[in-house]
Chain A
């Protein structure tokens, strides 16, 4: 019963589990569908900056023209010209502020722009003219995005108008006029080339999550199920070290989880155009380390529950908040303080943070060394506790 035969036993048990899985057609289909659904849902449902196009917007021009000058109409023309370039909105003209409201209410439009009735007269008499952006509060994510984009667009139009006005009135060169109106030229640049989307943010998170979920639900299932079926007794009554049984199960479930993780990786590159900045080997390494950090928790729960049903229930209860708290979908720094504190105690947080740094920012081992050390720490602590609990549980 040396270490070698222990490892050999573990591999045989893993072989058995994987063979079993490969013959379970329904299981295989789910294995592939789960990451596909995850990716599809998150990739398409959550809007990203570049993804905002052809948003239906109602436009109400209430401006009372003075004589034959309507600056409101000019504003609309300017807006349409800008929109033709970006294709951001689908503008449709409505008659009144009430129409804008009702169109948003009945879901025809996602936002509205109202040009105030004193638009021309205000401008002519040296006052600011009012433009109101109406947002759909039932969709906060979209409305904040539209608000930002429209404010930006209208601000840009204001700058253009003012620059042109200066140039006309004082005959100052256009460049100089622009510098007077908008003295600061703000530019944003990331540390890797190209534009990043929300998807690039979320892809590493999903990868981490799918692998963890697969392990956390798969492991208790694999062990409790065998315990209920009575087949676990067969292994326990053979001269096999308990750790080999556990090891075999962990190897099999990790393989399954990694397969799903790799599928997510491939899908995000092929379907969603995610550009992997760092090394793929490092990504797989982090995923494995993530598995190591959490596997103890899975074993602990398996040890303390005797039926598959309870084990699965506890796992679901634990993994669900973990999914949200570890920053898969939203950055942890945007969460309330107490949630940020909880997040610090979740191994998944560090897995995902490291993955994100490698995938999005092209980080190498030195940049993520802190995460690596923390994950190792979690793994060792949880695993030691779990092995003690498992040894005891097998003797009940």
Chain B
């Protein structure tokens, strides 16, 4: 029991008729990095919000750091840190002022707070920007301050909701390394939501794949990949310079084929079962006058796992998310009023 940081039992959240989170039950162990992986709208953020006491569950219960989210909200809040999708920073305040405000809200004694702020700023190499207004920072710099803001109270559990969304590759790497070190150094339990498969793969001890408000799988990354290999399914990547729709549908109609994904103009990724899967695919492409420049039987990625389990690709929806983010939020917000 003492090893459990979070325990959720049949969590449900409805917005009107829309079921955002559908009977989630899971446990997060102390000290682990636990990932929620899934497309936008899958219910990741809603789950996090319930665990952070920002939203009350429609049904079910959860304990965070041993306290009930519904009845011991303040106790829960004392033990958590939150980095949400939107930055919790005030643009017209300096980095130092932002940190001081939140430190005071956590009732950290003044001297201890001053030291803590200095220390955290040093860790993320931001000391010389301490007295600059946040509004003048780049997104990457802001996010560094945003993350250390969530660490002011030395939380037992840190929630990171899409911490690298919209960051440049360098900042993304910095934040990922930092996340790793928070977990290593302080033993902080981290709940990470992401739609980036590689990020989840790199960081998480265990991942729960979530789609339409339900957990479809929950395991370590390597075990998740075994779902595919264990089911005698191969992931085959072909480089075909002359892909045609007929070719794709021919592969699709093969009995051994599960899914076909056209990755770009020349690459096709096929999930197929059986020992002859690779041969069969080659035959089909050849007979359809397709040239095969190369063919690999590749190690499954989490993306393949997601596709295998849900039958659809995360990436498409991610692209959709970036363009329609505003609309989605608007709709969500409105449905909340009712």
Contact = CB atoms under 8 A, between A and B. Distances in A.
B54 interface: yes
B56 interface: yes
A389 to B, nearest CB: 12
A354 B259 CA distance: 77
- Which of under 10, 10 to 19, 20 to 34, or 35 or more describes the interface residues of A? 20 to 34
B93 A16 contact: yes
A20 B86 contact: no
B54 A233 contact: yes
Nearest to B149: A234
What 5 A-B pairs have minimum CB-CB distances, sorted nearest first? A230-B86, A234-B88, A238-B105, A239-B77, A23-B92
A304 B337 contact: yes
Interface stretch (B96-104, B260-268, B285-293, B301-309): B96-104
A231 interface: yes
Interface string A215-255: 00000000000000111011111111100000000000000
A237 B160 CA distance: 13
Given A20-B93, A24-B92, A230-B87, A306 B333 contact: yes
Contacts of B88: 230-231, 233-234
A341 interface: no
Interface residues of B, number: 36
Interface of B: 49, 52-56, 74-75, 77-78, 80, 82, 84-90, 92-93, 97, 101-102, 104-107, 133, 149, 153, 330, 333-334, 336-337
A16 B80 contact: no
Interface string A61-90: 000000000000000000000000000000
Given A306-B333, A395-B55, A235 B105 contact: yes
B88 to A, nearest CB: 3
Contact of A306 (B82, B107, B337): B337
Interface stretch (A5-13, A104-112, A185-193, A379-387): A5-13
Contacts of B74: 1, 239, 241
Contacts of A233: 49, 52, 54, 82, 84, 86, 88
Interface in A332-363: none
Given A231-B88, A305-B337, A237 B107 contact: no
Given A234-B88, A237-B82, A241-B74, 8 more contacts: A16-B90, A19-B97, A23-B92, A233-B54, A233-B84, A237-B80, A238-B77, A239-B75
B331 to A, nearest CB: 11
Contacts of A19: 92-93, 97
A236 B50 CA distance: 12
A396 interface: yes
A197 interface: no
Nearest to B81: A237
Contacts of B77: 237-240
Contacts of B104: 8-9, 12
10 contacts: A9-B104, A12-B101, A12-B105, A230-B88, A233-B86, A234-B149, A237-B54, A238-B77, A240-B105, A306-B337
A110 B271 CA distance: 90
B107 A20 contact: no
B107 A5 contact: yes
A227 to B, nearest CB: 9
Contacts of B86: 229-231, 233
B334 A306 contact: yes
Contacts of B87: 230-231
